[in-house]
A and B are shown apart, each in its own frame.
Chain A
Amino acid sequence: MMRISASRKLFFVINNLILIALVLTMIVPLLNVLAVSFTTDLESYENTIKLFPRQPSIEGYVTLFQRVSILRPFLNNVYVTIVGTFLHVIICSMAGYVLIKEKFFGKTILVYAVTIPMMIPFEMIIIPVYITVKHLGLMNTLWSVTIVGVVSTFSILLMKNYFEGIPKSLEESAFIDGAGESTVFFRIYLPLAKAGLATITIFQFVVKWNHLLTAILFLNSPEKYTLQIALKSLVVSQELTSTTQSVANNTRMAGIVIAIVPLIFVYVFAQKYFIKGIMIGAVKE
């Protein structure tokens, strides 16, 4: 047994102190937000550190749903997230499947066609995309924010990666039995790539749930608003930008809480897919 030196002990203490400080800078703001969201209107303005509400109250949430009427944007967001994620998963996995096929006429050009867009940041084409959406008559519809961004090279390549890990012998015997490409894809490849499907589903869920830029560009009437754009005017409202009628801090924090809860829920239940996806993403990009 090696003797643990004094400097080693010191390092151990300092290291853990740094990590505790780091974890606290992440947790304390979130606890503060959560606590303030459950205070009364009056208490939410007090300048004391709140990690627990003194007298728990749902005043903030009541205001959020009644006066601010967040329910509509919330439901719109649920709709856009579910439909958008579903389309994303099906379209990207179909494309990923085609990329693992051995050379066929036009394959090279198709590979380029679906990979080059990775080099083109969406932020840099917002003006022409805005014009396209306008010409397609999709302006101020939930379809606009559902469709724009529905396909990503990242997910196509991630699915291709997963499909490549499936033994070729399975599809060969299916083809001998007379199955077509679509049968092989839907019956053999999709069911065997569940981990891949889970990964892109979760990632796209987060992306769609958090979508802001497309909503800023395409939505202009409150009944079409999705969550982030509705929350933006609520949580950012400060004395400097007095565009909205003022609401108490508890309501603003309640808005943040309802936007966070679905994300935390997904994160807790699907953490292993996040780590997997991050790694593949970094290697691929």
Chain B
Amino acid sequence: MEHIKSLAGHFKRIRMLYLLILPAVLYFIIFTYFPVLNGFRISFQDYRFIGASKFVGLKNYIEAIHTPGFWRVFGNTLILGLSNVILTAFIPMFLALLLNEVQFTPWKRFSQTIIYMPHLFSWVIVGGIWIFILSPNSGLINILRSFFGKPSIYFMAKESYARTIMIGVNLWKQSGYVCILYLASIAGINTELYEAAMIDGAGSFKRALYITVPELVSTLKVVLLLNVMGALRIFNQIYVMRNEVIAPKIDVLMYYVYDRGLAQFKLGYASAISVIVFVITMIITIISLKLIKYKI
């Protein structure tokens, strides 16, 4: 009898656990799992909101492969994505090494606080700030140029500058955040290593090169992995900063999906591209995991 009573109590407890996790699971079923499956299904359809959607097999996929516009945004995404992956991993590492050599703590803390800030801002804010700074008349850059007697350049309307601007502004926004990751892992390095190196007569450059950098490799791997997983997701920045003149150079896959799917309502076609991008992301992620031998 006592046994049954405790069993009943056990079930009551488990029921409460199910109830506590239910909202999260329900959310993921409705807004993640179902959409993933539905997106896969729609990619094989000529999808309509009203009436029956026709099954068209691989037509959407074949259409994508034969559309020059798809390959163009694919190329743009690779160029922007790869540059972001590499630059926002290594430049912040360099900055962290420099910051680490600063002896005056308030100045160190102040500069950390400042360089992290842009990470908090939305792409509308960051895009708005830089479009203004790069603008032809009242923008800071062109005012500086006119000091040196150089003519004003309409940066945001020049195809040749478009990608550099996108990559540079992304670096401006993200590098402080990544830098903090490195600084935190530098703070975790065993100080005995440095003391031993100092006794052996190693200067600060040698200490950075032979102790700090190797200790940062594991953080570098995490950063690279995060960057790789985000590389093909670029959307907000392009949505905010694009215009028709520079669009051919910077339109990316996710913008293309949004535009074809929800502006032109070619939902099946857009879903097929989403599926392609998703599969590529998974493959790249798995390869990266293998390459960097990351243990989850």
Contacts of A69 in B (CB 8 A): none
Stretch at the interface among A58-66, A78-86, A193-201, A256-264: A256-264
Of chain B, the residue at the smallest CB distance from A212 is: B236
> A25 CA to B118 CA in the complex, in Å?
11
Of chain A, the residue at the smallest CB distance from B181 is: A282
> A113 CA to B26 CA in the complex, in Å?
10
Residues 265-282 of B at the A interface (beta carbon under 8 Å): 267, 270-271, 274, 277-278, 281-282
Taking A240-B157, A279-B184 as contacts, is the C-beta distance between A285 and B222 under 8 angstroms? Answer: yes
Residues 145-194 of B at the A interface (beta carbon under 8 Å): 146, 156-157, 172, 176-177, 180-181, 184
Contacting pair B181 A278 (CB below 8 A):
yes
Size band of the A side of the interface?
A: 35 or more
Contacting pair B32 A94 (CB below 8 A):
no
> A252 CA to B127 CA in the complex, in Å?
12
The interface on chain B, measured as residues whose beta carbon lies within 8 A of the other chain's beta carbons, has a size of 102
Contacting pair B184 A275 (CB below 8 A):
yes
CB < 8 Å: which of A44, A123, A252, A260 contacts B254?
A123
| Shortest Cβ gap from A273 to chain B (Å) | 13
Taking A114-B24, A125-B36, A180-B13 as contacts, is the C-beta distance between A19 and B99 under 8 angstroms? Answer: yes
Contacting pair B261 A256 (CB below 8 A):
no
Taking A212-B236, A260-B121 as contacts, is the C-beta distance between A19 and B111 under 8 angstroms? Answer: yes
Contacting pair B181 A236 (CB below 8 A):
no
Contacts of B12 in A (CB 8 A): 180
Give A contacts to B, CB under 8 Å.
8, 11-12, 15-16, 18-19, 22-23, 25-30, 32-33, 36, 44-49, 91-92, 94-95, 97-99, 101, 104-106, 110, 113-114, 117, 119-121, 123-132, 134, 136, 147-148, 150-151, 156, 180-182, 185, 206, 209-210, 212-213, 216-217, 228, 231-232, 235-236, 238, 240-241, 249, 252-253, 255-256, 259-260, 263-264, 267, 271, 274-275, 278-279, 282-283, 285
Give B contacts to A, CB under 8 Å.
12-14, 16-21, 23-25, 27-36, 38-39, 42, 49, 95, 98-99, 101-102, 107, 110-111, 113-118, 120-125, 127-133, 135, 137-138, 140, 142-144, 146, 156-157, 172, 176-177, 180-181, 184, 203-205, 219, 222-223, 225-226, 229-230, 233, 235-236, 239-241, 243-245, 254, 257-258, 261-262, 267, 270-271, 274, 277-278, 281-282, 285
